Amino acid sequence: MESPRIRRALISVSDKMGLTAFAKGLNAAGVEIYSTGGTRAHLEKEGIPVHDIAAYTGFPEMMDGRLKTLHPRVFGGILCRRDTLGDMNAVAEHGIHCFELVVVNLYPFEATVAREGATDEEAIENIDIGGPSMVRAAAKNHEFVTIITDSGQYSLVLEQIQTTGTTTLQLRRSLARDAFNHTAAYDTAISRYFNEHDQDGPFPNTLSVSYRRSTVLRYGENPHQQAALYLDRKSGGPSVVTSRQLNGKELSYNNLLDLDAALAIVRAFDRPAAVVLKHNNPCGAALAESAVDATRKAMEGDPLSAFGSVLGFNCPLDAEAAEYLATPGLFVEAIIAPEFTPEALEILKTKPKWRENVRLLHCGPFGTASSRWSVRPIEGGALYQEADVLPDPEKLWQIVTEKKPEPRQMDDLRFAWEMVRHVKSNAITVCKDRMLLGAGAGQMSRVDSVEIALKKAGGRSVGAVLGSDAFFPFPDSVEVAATQGIAAIIQPGGSRKDEMVIEAANRYGIPMIFTQRRHFKH
CA torsion, points 468, 470, 473, 476, in degrees to nearest 10? Answer: -10
51 tagged catalytic: no
Q: So where are the chain's domains?
A: 8-197, 243-362, 396-514
pLDDT band of 122, cuts 50, 70, 90:
confident
Question: How much is the mean pLDDT over the chain?
Answer: 90
Q: Which residues, listed in sequence order, are joined to residue 416 by a DSSP beta bridge?
A: none
Q: What is the pLDDT at residue 65?
A: 63
What is the distance between the alpha carbons of residues 303 and 349, in angstroms, rounded to a whole number?
Answer: 23
Own/partner long-range contacts of 508-512 (Cβ < 8 Å, ≥24 apart)? 508/478, 508/479, 508/482, 509/403, 510/401, 510/403, 510/478, 510/481, 510/482, 510/486, 511/399, 511/401, 511/403, 511/404, 511/405, 511/409, 511/487, 512/399, 512/400, 512/401, 512/478, 512/488
Q: Taking residues 398-425, report their average pLDDT.
A: 95
Q: Which CATH superfamily hosts domain 396-514?
A: AICAR transformylase, duplication domain (3.40.140.20)
Tell me the one-letter amino acid at 422. Answer: H
87 CB contacts (<8 Å, ≥6 apart)? Answer: 79, 80, 81
| CA torsion through residues 281, 283, 287, 288, sign | negative
What is the distance between the alpha carbons of residues 167 and 156, in angstroms, rounded to a whole number?
Answer: 9
Are the C-beta atoms of 18 and 154 separated by less than 8 Å?
A: yes
Q: What is the pLDDT at residue 190?
A: 84
Quick one: which H or E segment has residue 85?
helix 85-93
- Helical segments of 250-336, H only: 253-266, 291-301, 303-306, 319-325
Q: What is the pLDDT at residue 235?
A: 64
Output the DSSP codes for 413-451. HHHHHHHHTTSPSS-EEEESSSBEEEEE-S-SSHHHHHH
Q: Which CATH superfamily hosts domain 243-362?
A: AICAR transformylase, duplication domain (3.40.140.20)
pLDDT digits (tens, 9 = 90+) for 348-388: 999 888 888 899 999 998 876 657 788 888 999 989 888 88
Are the C-beta atoms of 439 and 428 separated by less than 8 Å?
A: yes
Work out the number of other CB atoms within 10 angstroms of the CB of residue 163: 10
Quick one: which H or E segment has residue 244?
strand 244-247
Work out the number of other CB atoms within 10 angstroms of the CB of residue 372: 11
What is the distance between the alpha carbons of residues 185 and 149, in angstroms, rounded to a whole number?
Answer: 12
Task: Point out the least confidently predicted range of 50-64, 223-237, 310-324, 454-468.
Answer: 50-64
pLDDT band of 164, cuts 50, 70, 90:
very high
pLDDT digits (tens, 9 = 90+) for 221-269: 999 999 999 888 666 678 899 999 999 999 999 999 999 999 999 998 9
Dihedral pair phi/psi, residue 103, rounded to 5°: -120, 110
Q: Taking residues 149-162, report their average pLDDT.
A: 92
pLDDT digits (tens, 9 = 90+) for 48-86: 999 988 888 776 676 666 666 777 888 888 989 888 888
Task: Point out the least confidently predicted range of 109-118, 128-137, 309-318, 481-490.
Answer: 109-118
Q: What is the pLDDT at residue 474?
A: 94
Tell me the one-letter amino acid at 106. Answer: L
What is the distance between the alpha carbons of residues 340 and 349, in angstroms, rounded to a whole number?
Answer: 12
The residue annotated as part of the active site, out of 24, 51, 71, 140, is 140
374 CB contacts (<8 Å, ≥6 apart)? Answer: 384, 385, 386, 387
Please return the burial class of 411, using the count of CB atoms within 10 Å of its CB with bins 0-12, 13-18 and 19+. middle
Q: Which residues, listed in sequence order, are joined to residue 280 by a DSSP beta bridge?
A: none
What is the distance between the alpha carbons of residues 227 and 217, in angstroms, rounded to a whole number?
Answer: 5
* Number of H-type helices and E-type strands within the chain: 19, 21
Q: Taking residues 463-471, report their average pLDDT.
A: 96
Tell me the one-letter amino acid at 45. Answer: K
The residue annotated as part of the active site, out of 24, 279, 349, 351, is 279
Beta strands in 16-140 (DSSP E): 32-35, 51-52, 101-105
Report the share of the chain in percent with pLDDT over 70. 95
224 tagged catalytic: no
Q: Please give the CATH architecture assigned to the domain spanning 8-197.
A: 3-Layer(aba) Sandwich (3.40)
The domains spanning 243-362 and 396-514 adopt the same CATH topology: yes
Tell me the one-letter amino acid at 241. Answer: V
Tell me the one-letter amino acid at 490. Answer: I
